[in-house]
Amino acid sequence: MSEIRIQNLQKRFADFTAVRGSSLVLESGKFVVLLGPSGCGKTTTLRMIAGLEYPTGGTITLEDQDVTYLRPRERDIAMVFQLFALYPHMGVRGNLEFPLRNEGVPRAEIDRRVKEVASILRIEHLLDSSVTGLAGGDRQRVALGRAIVRQPKAFLMDEPLGTLDAEFRELMCVELRKLHDRLKTTTVFVTHDQNEAMALADHIVVMNEGEILQADSPHGIYSFPSCLFVAKFIGRPPMNLLNAEAPVVRGDNSVRLARRSIDVPTVDAPAASIVLGIRPEHVRLLGADQGSLGGTIEHVEYFGSHWVAEVRTEAGAIKVLADKSVRPVLQDRVGLSFDTRHIVLFDAATEKLLPSATTRTHTPSMRHG
Ligand code: ATP
């Protein structure tokens, strides 16, 4: 079991700062996803943990050992880039044995570990096959096997599912997570795909422009986004973000929206102007003249199990997720009500989450600074 700690980690490339003083504790045995848009510093962070890039500031410890400037092979960490990369001139068994032969592991131990890994990944019947004729899923399993056969202290994975089509990606997400539940090896996984992050992670670390914006469970990230960036980045359809009209003071439990008073969780800090956030599944469609706000249905999307309707209101466009028993009709006048328990508020000036009765109920699952 291996905990990874990064403290005030920085990386500058000439005068460009790719990672700005990240601090994080990656708990032993957890599956941690680094998530963020292209160029936010995910890969650079991962490469520093792997030892493929040295930081320009800060430290990295693995199981209490300072590994900041150790070479990759001195860290006992397995890096998985593309799960498809196999040695074509070797068979399946040769690919699985390769990392162990490289490390001088005795023959009997190699045989034992290859057998074990092949059984875990259900590829025993392929051990004597060539890798060139393998189907996509089997190739992926062999590549994964090559990483786990080493029994490293941690796996680092950089968009390993990036080249796969959507259906296969989903399948591999399930396989990876099942494998993790079995092996419980500390894993750091980089992706820009929020669905992948949600499906795989125990903890998600959201980054933007070289900074860690939030580190928490998928539920924490989704329900209590630390700032407007995270609120907009996570969730499809996205969270509704509505500008309220007046300042709030500590103890307030309503805000003004389109000249109406809307109940909100009691606020714990003052703000000159605020943004009200509510997810589409926490807005209810009612008959015209009911609820807190009125509007007109402008767009409807059908998803089989549910609908998403966009309602034009005086406070802006509001997306509503309605179950299939409801049939939103274009141009209908409707009323909307918000489930107060699920409203989050942001300080419009700092764009940060405002403490409230709702956020008080949640403790982030991960430490970062
Ligand atoms: P992507 O998903 O596109 O790879 P990312 O979040 O992984 O994005 P990084 O690859 O970590 O981002 O890059 C962060 C920033 O650092 C980018 O602006 C990138 O151009 C820059 N960068 C990365 N490596 C170097 C380098 N060797 N020299 C100069 N700039 C670099």
206 CA from centroid of ligand 1 (Å): 16
Check if 15 has its Cβ closer than 6 Å to any atom of ligand 1. no
Contact 48, 22 (CB under 8 A): no
**Cβ–ligand 1 contact at 18 (below 6 Å):** yes
pTM value? 0.91
Range(s) of the domain holding residue 16: 4-223
Q: Which atom of ligand 1 is nearest to the CA of 159?
A: 2
Q: Considering the domain boundaries, does residue 367 fall inside one?
A: no
144-166 pLDDT tens trace: 888 889 888 999 999 888 777 78
In a domain, 368, yes or no: no
Q: What is the pLDDT of residue 83?
A: 56
Q: How far is the CA of 135 from the centre of ligand 1 (A)?
A: 32
Structural domain includes residue 366: no
Say whether both 102 and 232 belong to one domain: no
20 Cα: distance to centroid of ligand 1 (angstroms) = 13
Instruction: Give whole-number Cα distances, 93 to 48, 103, 118, 290, in Å.
Output: 31, 16, 9, 67
Residue 320: inside a domain, yes or no?
yes
Same domain, 235 and 88: no
* Residue range 332-357, pLDDT digits in tens: 999 999 999 999 999 999 999 999 99
Which CATH number covers residue 294?
Answer: 2.40.50.140
- Co-location of 215 and 305 in the same domain: no
Ligand 1, pocket-test mutation among 10, 15, 16, most atoms within 8 A of CB: 16
Question: Closest Cα partner for 355 from 249, 279, 270, 269?
Answer: 269
* 192 Cβ below 6 A of ligand 1: yes
Amino acid 214: pLDDT: 96
Tell me: do 161 and 20 sit in the same domain.
yes
Q: Do 82 and 190 fall within a single domain? A: yes
Domain stop point among 173, 188, 223: 223
> Are both 142 and 243 inside the same structural domain?
no
For residue 119, the CA-to-ligand 1 centroid distance in Å is: 38
Residue 36 lies in a domain: yes
Q: Is any atom of ligand 1 closer than 6 Å to the C-beta of 162? A: no
Do both 277 and 180 map to the same domain? no
149 lies in the same domain as 272: no
Q: What number does the ligand 1 atom closest to the CA of 190 have?
A: 7
Pocket test residue of 13, 206, 208 for ligand 1, highest count of atoms within 8 A of CB: 13
Both 249 and 201 in a single domain?
Answer: no
* pLDDT of res. 84: 60
Q: Do 146 and 265 fall within a single domain? A: no
Ranges of the chain whose pLDDT falls below 50: none
Domain CATH number, residue 53:
3.40.50.300
Name the residue of 12, 22, 35, 42 whose CB sits within 8 Å of the most ligand 1 atoms, as the mutation to test its pocket. Answer: 42
- In this structure, the answer to whether residues 46 and 12 fall within a common structural domain is yes
Is residue 335 lining ligand 1, measured as CB closer than 6 Å?
no
Domains in the chain: how many in total? 2
Of the candidates 88, 91, 111, the one whose C-alpha atom is nearest the C-alpha of residue 101 is 111
User: Peptide bond preceding 237: is omega within 30 degrees of 0, i.e. cis?
Assistant: yes
Residue 159 domain flag:
yes
Rounded to the nearest whole angstrom, what is the distance from the C-alpha of residue 40 to the centroid of ligand 1? 7
pLDDT at residue number 171: 80
Q: Of 202, 223, 244, which closes a domain?
A: 223
* Distance from C-alpha of 243 to C-alpha of 241, rounded to nearest angstrom: 7
Residue 369 lies in a domain: no
243 and 193 assigned to the same domain: no
% residues pLDDT > 70 (the chain) = 98
Q: Which residue has a Cα nearest atom 29 of ligand 1?
A: 13
Q: Is 39 in the pocket of ligand 1 (CB under 6 A)?
A: yes
In a domain, 281, yes or no: yes
pLDDT 10s digits, 283-299: 999 999 899 999 999 99
Last residue of a domain, one of 170, 201, 223: 223
